[in-house]
Structure 1
Amino acid sequence: MSTFSIPGPARTPSAARTPAPHPWNRFVALGDSFTEGYGDPEPRSPGGVRGWADRVAEELSLGHRDFAYANLAVRGLLLQQIVDDQVGPALELKPDLVTLSAGGNDLVFRGSDPDKLAEKLDPVIGLLSATGATVVLFTGPDWGNTPVFNRIRGRVAIFNENLRTIAARHDGVVADLWSLRQLTGQQMWDPDRLHFSPLGHHTIAAMVLETLNVPHTLQPLQPKVLPTGSWRQARSSDLVWARDYLFPWVLRRVRQRPTGPGLKAKRPEPGPVFGPGMPHGPLPAGPDR
């Protein structure tokens, strides 16, 4: 079990405030396209995408010159693939903060049993937690009455309850996408309706930091200028969306195409985060990790 003490309650974000100290020095993110940052394009970031994990790392790096971050997530992976391909390398990096989001592709594209998915995940979280690292798990979002995905809402809810049980058993932390009601807005989603937009990733990053009780400088609704629109207006183009996005995605999943040779983890080694307030230089020498 983790023995750290999370700092006191998070305060209102302020760009002018220097974030308070936190106990983490090495952050490793595991998962699929959600953690890779798909939907949040940024040519200057490794892999051409940014995402909530990068945004969290940028904030955690403020005032921590020895902070390092690795992101092993690869889009399209199922839960077992994430376990097989990423958990071992993550353990070798000796993180003290780990985030893991897995099972979404299983639920959406395989119709997998949420109880069986939880059975696979439970020992993995136990293994990660036994290292002393803080382990953060993500519940699935509530798609509500959105087209197509409302059919899997019950399975997602069951999986979420299983995740809460796993987190409680292994002293994990739950980042609760299901209860993050801001995500019901159309502007939070990529046009494919499968991934989050830059604003969605930004909003999730703020939630993760607040879940960890880390003060941060993220301001609500400020990643970029947002287009106008609503879910009702978006539904008028459901057939176009299904043709352009949903059907090709499902077809790729059904055919079980292996991950292409060009799809690799965007940050396979922990390194400094060159975000706001970070020095553009190598990490200072520190204890052997």
Structure 2
Amino acid sequence: MTGRKFAAVVGAMVVALGIGTSANASGDDFARILKQQYDAWYEQDGAKFAATFHEDADMVTFNGEHLSTRKGIAEGMQYFFDNHIPKSRLKVLDSHVRYVRRDLAVIVRTTCIVETVECREGSLSRNTNVLSKRDGKWLQESFQNTRVEPLAPGVVPVSEPKGYPGSIEQIRQRQEDSWYEEDGAKFASTFSKDADVVTFNADHLRTRKGIAERMQFYFDNYINKTRLKTLGERIRFVGRDLVFVVRTGCQLVPPDTECRPDSVSRNINVLVKRDGKWTQESFQNTRYVPIQEVSGS
């Protein structure tokens, strides 16, 4: 998709949302950022790629690596370009744009890698891009990518759960409790009414009700009774009412106290404060799979 076509798509979504002319202008900003990022990928230029981010931004890569700050993103991506990413182009297959407020947008894109003409086999992925406008300029605050591993379609119909705003710690605890209790509605209650979730297999869940119904399907069919364990986190405030939490965790099979093998993952949680309480606007999870070092590097 060309930058001009993408701008048109974003602009149409903005008009549908009734945001106004200032937000219409942001469609061009988003197209510019997307084009620069994709040009940088093709040119294998880590610094150019990182220039689309704020200086204190966070990025979680396809393998769960956490790159923090623009400098860290530039260095990490250059390493990937030099050692692991072949010359290729990125292709946008789908894009979901949502404004949280006039200076904060969440974009969930489905993409693939193109080395010839068609998408490379196994390259389908989904990423959450959170952009904010600071001092009149849009840049990325966070970006996370997860490879698509489709699971069977299905939901468990539930009534829309009531929202559960609270402190950052209360939200984390409620999410962990609901996971152990296998309660999709309770899990979803920590999110805003129109939130976005991208799961470990890159399934895109939209709205609090949609999160509740799909998560209950996962609990009933795919997720064994486990506990979540936090191994580490980075909390970054952007002003007083926006926070990015990059959390590393794993699953425990009770009564074990050690991480279940291959269960370590990393997620970015975006929370907004309204009326003195926090609620989640977006969440994405990626399994952590260390990349083998290149011989002689």
Task: Calculate the TM-score normalised by the size of structure 1.
Answer: 0.25
Task: Calculate the TM-score normalised by the size of structure 2.
Answer: 0.24
